[in-house]
Structure 1
Amino acid sequence: MRMEKKEKSILDYETVSLDLEHHALVIIDQTQLPGKIEMLSLTDIKDIWEAIRLLKVRGAPAIGVAAAAGIYLAAEKIHTEDTQVFYSEFQQAKKYLATSRPTAVNLFWALDRMENVVRTHLTESVAKIQSLLQKEAVRIHDEDIEVCRKIGEYALELVKPGDGLLTHCNAGQLATVKYGTATAPMYLGMERGYDFHIFTDETRPLLQGARLTASELHAAGMDVTLICDNMSASVMKKGLVQAVFVGCDRVAANGDTANKIGTSVVACVAKQYGVPLYVCAPTSTIDMTLETGEEIPIEERDPEEITEMWYQARMAPESVKVYNPCFDVTDHDLITAIITEKGIARPPYRQAFEKMLQVTP
């Protein structure tokens, strides 16, 4: 009897990983999904910068993991025995990578964490520092899996079997190493027979909900329905959604949250129909240096993403004005709770974060 060879899905690959044998950052090129699965092996810091900037790797946690691996690979190529010279060149590489995306705080968190390894071991040899950087990059990768799993465990406490769930954009496995943040309860729920029905917004203009979230949840065998962004009110009004789970790229001290554009619209609709909205956020995305969401930098991207990217022919008049912010800020009073790997934070968020992070007011 001949066995049919099972075709691999995106879930059979790690979204982002460090290939120590070949000294490379390996990622799924998410700009090619869902049409084809293309793995990129990146060794040069310029290629890693471009991969982050052009959304070949995306999602706050995955960006952080990629940045850690990228700065390690850059440090590995610094050839000097002088630790001060090494540190200076390391800082230049760090500054360069930090310019790739402005909003996702995990990028800066990971780079700062890697720099701390260098700064606290300047009395060691350069070779020793490089070895420690490698271990830290691997640790950041491995920790991401555990963080997402814990977020999923806490999130499952807030729902029940058979619930309808809605998510926006992609805060799934493709935005992390495994499980995702907003999708972590969905993956864990599937393992435990919760039989969720999931609605995923297509998420214009980059269509991450359609291309990525729908693809990975469908590949996992979940009951998932793709809807246009402007259909969320319809499914909530009909009572088909019992909870909304979204990810985030940065959380201010008061609980205001920056996430993919359109999240604030979903939050307003959820509040109108009495549906709880939960933000799934690793503590690494909480930025206590920012008082409110008004201080979060919002990335603006190319007009062509709206007018041309997904069309055979241009779908807007030539020279028409285009406004294309990549994120919006959801006010804290629209958020039911913020789920982290350390527990569930509820309003008032500043006090909850200070206790959770053991920060002195």
Structure 2
Amino acid sequence: MTIPLSVIWKDEQLTILDQRLLPQAVQYETLETLEQVHDAIFQLKVRGAPAIGIAAAYGLALAARRHKTVDIESFRKDVKKDADYLIASRPTAVNLAWAVARLINRIEQAGTVAQAKTQLIEEAQLIRDEDEAACRNIGEHALELLADKERVLTICNAGSIATAKYGTALAPFHLGKERGQEFQVYACETRPLFQGGRLTVWELQQAGVDVTLITDSMAAHTIAAKGIEAIIVGADRITANGDTANKIGTLNLALLAQAYGIPFYVAAPVSTFDLSLETGSSIPIEERAAEEVATIGTQQIAPAGTKVFNPAFDVTPAKYITAIITERGIIRPNDEQTIEAQLYAVPSKGETV
């Protein structure tokens, strides 16, 4: 069994796993233009906050290679325009804007266009490598919290195919499998696009992890009937006070964890924190097309013309989160002081942030 990957840069080419087609087909697609990268992110061919950031970084570097201008200032303006275009593809996941901003900052001091193009590729690769290291560290810290637990519930897909490797919320399951620590994972299907059923179940099966699928509405009963001992989820944006945006349905699980007295963990790299926003009420929540709710695949399941409310994310208040797990350690309690202390702490030797 192997851990699958979703964003691959090899021989100066960007290839992604089209996650819309899983599990029926495992199909990789080579992206050659900025527009293709934008559409791949918007259409959810590539998804998961870290993977989106990695794909966008490579996409920006890829597009920059095609610019013909030899004037460095004009080149920077062209790259900034490309960056704004990519950021518009998915507004909620902060990793996207964070990643392209890193590339923009990297070329601020470049003396030539050729130097800038090289630096963009180097920075994109650095972001990818840092994310893999961060995910491994998140998994290590999560295993500390789950050391005496076996039955764990999750939602959406915060796994290897949502990151560079290992994932965030799924990292302890992948690492645990490598070390002989077995978990019984229960995955919510994650309506309306079924990222839990299509992606998390498929990914964990590829790695040989014991996983059981439930519908989102079965969560409360499953916690009681199966003795769920913890819930762990990923994040798309975490504000200064610890409020967390994640896939729609996450808040439901946090409230259930509170009611049943079990821990509710959020696993995310430090790049997912947005300290410019004080609370979750300021997070922009993406609303998607009605068809995602009114249909399953090509099959209409609601009457034509039905009004639909389709937010892609919800916000879990910090008070419902037992701990936030980052590559730097465990934030508990998660509030302005503890978050700021960890994010601005000097990394220990060998730590990649």
Asked if these proteins are the same fold (TM beyond 0.5), I'd say yes
Greater CA drift, 300-309 or 56-65:
300-309
Q: Does the 8 Å CA contact 1:162/1:194 hold for their aligned counterparts?
A: no
Q: Shift of the alpha carbon at 1:138?
A: 0.8
**Matched position secondary structure for 1:265:** helix
**Residue of structure 2 equivalent to 1:3:** none
Match of 1:276 among 250, 263, 274: 263
| Match of residue 69, structure 1, among 58, 79, 97 | 58
Q: Match of 1:210, as an amino acid?
A: G
Report the CA distance shift for 1:157/1:354 in structure 2 as closer, same or farther (over 3 A). Answer: same
1:266 has 2:260 as partner: no
Secondary structure, counterpart of 1:25 in structure 2:
strand
C-alpha distance in 1 between matches for 2:295 and 2:88 = 26
1:83 and 1:125 in contact (8 A); partners too: yes
Structure 1 residue identity aligned to 2:331: A
> 1:161, 1:194 within 8 Å by CA — same for their partners in 2?
no
Following superposition, the deviation at residue 246 of structure 1 comes to 0.2
Q: What is the rounded CA distance, in whole Å, between the counterparts of 2:71 and 2:251 in structure 1?
A: 50
Q: Look up the SS of the partner of 2:20 in the other structure.
A: helix
SS of the residue 2:212 aligns to:
strand
Give yes or no for the alignment of 1:351 onto 2:345: no
TM-score (norm 2): 0.95
Determine whether 1:222 maps to 2:209.
yes
Query: Compared with structure 1, are the counterparts of its residues 272 and 24 closer, same or farther at alpha carbon in structure 2 (3 Å cutoff)?
Result: same
Q: CA deviation at 1:311?
A: 5.4
> Separation in 1 of the partners of 2:235 and 2:71?
40
Residues 220 and 193 of structure 1, relative CA distance in 2, 3 Å threshold: same
Out of 193, 212, 217, the residue aligned to residue 206 of structure 1 is: 193
Classify the secondary structure of the residue corresponding to 1:270. Answer: helix
SS of aligned partner of 1:238? helix
Q: SS state of the match for residue 186, structure 2?
A: strand
Corresponding residue for residue 113 of structure 2: 126
Map of 1:319 onto structure 2? 305
Alignment coverage as a number of residue pairs: 345
1:13 Cα offset (Å) = 4.8
Query: What is the CA distance between 1:348 and its match in structure 2?
Result: 4.4
3-state DSSP of counterpart to 1:289? coil
**Residue in structure 1 matched with residue 35 of structure 2 by the alignment:** 46
Please list every run of at least 4 consecutive aligned residues from structure 1 whose deviation after the TM superposition is greater than 4 angstroms: none
Give SS of 2:265's match. Answer: strand
Normalised TM-score (structure 1): 0.93
Cα distance in 2 for partners of 1:139, 1:237 equals 44
Distance 1:239 1:269 in 2: 14
Alignment of 1:231-250 (within 5 A): 231-238=218-225, 240-250=227-237
Are the equivalent residues in 2 in contact too, given 1:161–1:193 (CA < 8 A)? no
Q: Could you tell me how far apart the structure 2 residues matched to 1:146 and 1:47 are?
A: 28
CA RMSD in angstroms comes to 1.3
Structure 1: distance between partners of 2:40 and 2:297: 20
Cα contact 2:3–2:166 (8 A) shared by 1: no
Counterpart residue number, 1:4: none
Taking a change above 3 Å as real, the CA distance of residues 266 and 311 of structure 1, as seen in their structure-2 partners, is: farther
Deviations 1:264-319 (A, max 9, x none): 0011011100110100010000000001000000000000001113353x111111
Q: Is the 8 A contact 2:264 2:321 kept in 1?
A: yes
SS of match in other structure, 2:251? helix
Q: 1:5 matched to which residue of 2?
A: none
Cα distance between partner residues in 1 of 2:73 and 2:85: 19
Q: 1:207 corresponds to which letter in structure 2?
A: F
Alpha-carbon displacement from aligned partner over 1:41-62 (angstroms, at most 9, x marks no partner) = 0010001000000000000000
Judged with a 3 Å threshold, the aligned counterparts in structure 2 of structure 1 residues 12 and 160 are, in CA distance, closer, same or farther, namely closer
Q: How does 1:1-361 map to 2 (within 5 A)?
A: 11=2, 13-19=4-10, 21=11, 23-121=12-110, 124-160=111-147, 163-238=150-225, 240-310=227-297, 312=299, 314-358=300-344
Task: Please say if residues 4 and 203 of structure 2, whose CA atoms lie closer than 8 Å, have aligned partners that are also in contact.
Answer: no
Deviation (angstroms), 1:239: 5.3
Q: 1:208 to 1:351 in 2, by over 3 A?
A: same
2:37 aligned partner, one-letter code: I
Q: Aligned partners of 1:24, 1:47: CA distance in 2, in Å?
A: 13
SS of 1:73's partner is: helix
2:3–2:207 Cα contact (<8 Å) kept? no
